[in-house]
Structure 1
Amino acid sequence: MFSFRPGLRLAGRATRSTVRSGSQFQQLPPFQPRRSIYQRPRYTRFNNRRGGQWSNDQEQWGSFGPLYRAQYIWRSYQKPIVFVGAGGTLFYVYNLEEVPITHRRRFNILSPETEKQLSEGAYQSTLQEYNGRILSSNHPLTKQVARVVERILPATGGLAGDDWRVHVIDDPQMKNAFVIPGGKVFVFTGILPICKTEAGLATVLGHEIAHNVAHHMAERLSRSSLTLLASLLFALLFQVDTRISNSAVDLLLELPNSRTQETEADHIGLLLMAEACYDPREAVAFWERMKASERYAPPQLLSTHPSSYNRVDHIEKWLPDAQTIYIDKGCSGLRQFATDFKQTMRSQQPRGVQGQGKQPWTSKRDDDDDGFL
């Protein structure tokens, strides 16, 4: 070991002497050990390459699939998206309007005349569906419903000029009523016991007529193009089937809007019945009875209608305004009409189909009007 060290010293001196050239000293390159294959980088980063696909100011938004696809679409079609988006925004804002009475802003591109034309097919198909079960125009229940409609119509403004037709469908199991735009009223006998009084029936008809006062059908048809676009965009970003995207759009957009319309119809209908001299407090009693008659109701999140509990809560908040209208109209002396409906229900119960093929009750006004139901 001791004899090996002097040998190393001599070898070092000999090496240094061989690299000297004149007065200049040439430094040897540093020793670089051979890199093992296990020390090589596993991947190459391109996000910092100038002139490549990515740069420092174009980093990915995230590895989440929908965000990555949205980033790709935006970078690939940025100019068309900006152009179409700006035009669509201007078109949307231009077609915004206020709902009568509630003053809610909404998107609507259909006129009342167009909506009535589109609803004519629905009216004919409804007549065919319930053919043979529609009570005659001379039936006491049809006359009772027509009487309530006639009292409410003056409060609707121009709607009284439509071609109004009242149909009562003999179906004790169906607790429903609806009004097709253009003045076509349909009431099922199953809801009449829940109405109990004429004011209760006015609650139902005021609500259904309010849908048309607020142009809700036109709003739904106008929104259909927006919901279709939202469904396609959802399917593209999340790479799901169109049925799943349609369900998601219904849950997030359509159902909330439907519940908004139903709540709005409750508000407008309450004011209409008060204007027609029906005690608005009867609306609370009607929805209490409706809540008691419900065997099963889906969660409000999955329903097109708000729950009966929430409806009662909202109506109680609107009652002071409705009561003011009721008192200002001088309606306190019309309480004797409240018992007419009970007497009609006791004396004239529908026993099967009566008066098949007869004409429904129609209003005396046949001239066209811009309003619709």
Structure 2
Amino acid sequence: MFSFQAGMRVAARAARQACPRTSNNPSFYSKHLPRFQSRSFASRYSRFGEKPGGGSQQQQQKQWSNFGPVYRAQYIWRNYQRPLMVVGAGGGVFYVYNLEEVPVTHRRRFNVLSPSSENEFFGGPEQYNAVLNEFRGKVLPTDHPLTVQVARVVEKLLPTTRGLGGDDWRVHVIDDPEQKNAFVMPGGKVFVFSGILPICQDENGLAAVLGHEIAHNVAHHAAERASRSSFVLLATVAVSFLFDVSGQFANSVSGLILSLPNSRTQEAEADHIGLLMMAEACYDPKAALDFWGRMKKAEQFEPPQFISTHPSNYNRAEQIKKWLPDAERIYADTGCGSTSRYLTGFKDALSTKQPGAQGQVSPQRPVVSRRKDEDDDFF
């Protein structure tokens, strides 16, 4: 018995030496057992044109974002990738095909409306009559001194309008001392509010106003705004979907990003073109700079530029200073003499201003007007 127990003890000792206890050897499992590796589930989506199983594992795996807007963008892209690429390519070709240069400034812009379509949509008989009805009883007669004076400035600017001479130009002055505005509808319908005339002071100042407003027609800004409206609509839909917000908020964001900057660009462009036009028509271009100084003092409140359709008065004056040398060169090249003879006539017209009833509009006189819901056309 003793020899059997001794033999068992020897055998156990030999076994321990051959195979040490795992509790005393932590590396046992790492050496003899396979390690469990966690792996994330690969998305069932693959990149466009990628063959199943091709590429590295990291390229095949696509994670979904927890951020709502990014997640929605991923969803659209992964499920509608091919249609988006086709529509994007077609839209890019259409956009490039319809690019054109703005007269005078040579700015490249997108526009799909012809000048005739612009006149029909924004300056046709229906729109024109709507403006006349809106200000019925306030439009001064055609033989009123103020109307005659405004028509005289318009007639001097017409040779500089570059392609608009064939329009049916008509001029109206609206007796509203509170309104410091003017506008020109496509097709040559000019409207001037009497409230801006004291700020103009003379025909040079009035030429700065009318040159700016007519320049909007020269550059066909109404057609450009209508053409760009499709991009604003697409941006509104995209913002509304990605950020899950109401259409009104999305429209405000799209306007702040797309519409307002473009409107300020158009206003600055009209300042530039109008400055050159008034110089070519023998009106002193320095008067535009003086006018904006008076306009700044006359305005009681000016909103921040980034939420306005117009550049600030200060920025407009600074830009005019940069364009002034070119305008003065044109003014000198045209051989224009002193324009002082215009000052007396204009001041006399202001002093004899008598509001009267609306009269018949001469087909050869322009009309300047502005609608309350079209802020881009306000001066």
Q: Supply the distance in 2 between the matched residues of 1:191 and 1:284 (Cα, whole angstroms).
A: 16
Contact 2:151 2:365 in 1 (8 A): no
2:333 is equivalent to residue 328 of structure 1: yes
2:244 is equivalent to residue 223 of structure 1: no
Q: Supply the distance in 2 between the matched residues of 1:349 and 1:55 (Cα, whole angstroms).
A: 83
Shift of 1:73: 1.1
2:353 is equivalent to residue 355 of structure 1: no
Pairing partner for 1:13 from 11, 31, 56: 11
Shift of 1:59: 2.7
Q: Deviations over 1:79-128 (max 9, x none)?
A: 10110000000000000000000000000000011111112232221111
Q: Supply the distance in 1 between the matched residues of 2:93 and 2:22 (Cα, whole angstroms).
A: 69
* 1:187 match: secondary structure: strand
What residue number does 2:263 align with?
A: 258
Q: Supply the distance in 2 between the matched residues of 1:9 and 1:128 (Cα, whole angstroms).
A: 124
Distance change >3 Å, CA 15–CA 324, structure 1 → 2: same
Shift of 1:211: 0.3
* 2:58 match: secondary structure: coil
Q: Supply the distance in 2 between the matched residues of 1:297 and 1:137 (Cα, whole angstroms).
A: 34
What residue number does 1:37 align with?
A: none
2:85 is equivalent to residue 85 of structure 1: no
Percent identity of paired positions between Structure 1 and Structure 2: 57
Shift of 1:72: 1.7
Shift of 1:334: 3.6
Contact 1:60 1:68 in 2 (8 A): no
Contact 1:140 1:344 in 2 (8 A): yes
Contact 1:170 1:350 in 2 (8 A): no
Q: Supply the distance in 1 between the matched residues of 2:204 and 2:156 (Cα, whole angstroms).
A: 11
Distance change >3 Å, CA 313–CA 45, structure 1 → 2: same
2:376 is equivalent to residue 338 of structure 1: no
Q: Supply the distance in 2 between the matched residues of 1:310 and 1:44 (Cα, whole angstroms).
A: 59
* 1:166 match: secondary structure: strand
Pairing partner for 1:110 from 108, 113, 125: 113
What is the identity, as a one-letter code, of the residue corresponding to 2:361?
P
What is the identity, as a one-letter code, of the residue corresponding to 1:350?
Q
What residue number does 1:63 align with?
A: 66
Pairing partner for 1:177 from 172, 178, 182: 182
List alignment gaps of at least 5 residues for structure 1. 1-6, 18-24, 33-40, 366-372
Q: Deviations over 1:139-191 (max 9, x none)?
A: 11111110000000001122111111111111000000000000000100000
Number of aligned positions between the proteins: 340
What residue number does 2:97 align with?
A: 94
Pairing partner for 1:293 from 290, 295, 298: 298
2:216 is equivalent to residue 211 of structure 1: yes
Q: Supply the distance in 2 between the matched residues of 1:200 and 1:287 (Cα, whole angstroms).
A: 9
Shift of 1:284: 0.5
Shift of 1:237: 1.2
Distance change >3 Å, CA 9–CA 341, structure 1 → 2: farther
Shift of 1:337: 1.7
Distance change >3 Å, CA 62–CA 164, structure 1 → 2: same
What residue number does 1:144 align with?
A: 149
More displaced 10-residue stretch of structure 1: 145-154 or 122-131: 122-131
Contact 1:48 1:56 in 2 (8 A): no
Distance change >3 Å, CA 184–CA 48, structure 1 → 2: closer
Distance change >3 Å, CA 14–CA 97, structure 1 → 2: same
What residue number does 1:21 align with?
A: none
Q: Supply the distance in 2 between the matched residues of 1:160 and 1:8 (Cα, whole angstroms).
A: 127
What is the identity, as a one-letter code, of the residue corresponding to 1:314?
Q
What residue number does 1:195 align with?
A: 200
Q: Supply the distance in 1 between the matched residues of 2:103 and 2:215 (Cα, whole angstroms).
A: 10
Q: Supply the distance in 2 between the matched residues of 1:314 and 1:211 (Cα, whole angstroms).
A: 17
Q: Supply the distance in 2 between the matched residues of 1:255 and 1:290 (Cα, whole angstroms).
A: 21
Contact 2:202 2:342 in 1 (8 A): no
Shift of 1:28: 11
Shift of 1:327: 0.6
Contact 1:142 1:361 in 2 (8 A): no
What is the identity, as a one-letter code, of the residue corresponding to 1:45?
S
* 1:186 match: secondary structure: strand
What residue number does 2:371 align with?
A: none
What residue number does 1:72 align with?
A: 75
Contact 1:168 1:189 in 2 (8 A): yes
What residue number does 2:30 align with?
A: none
Contact 1:198 1:339 in 2 (8 A): no
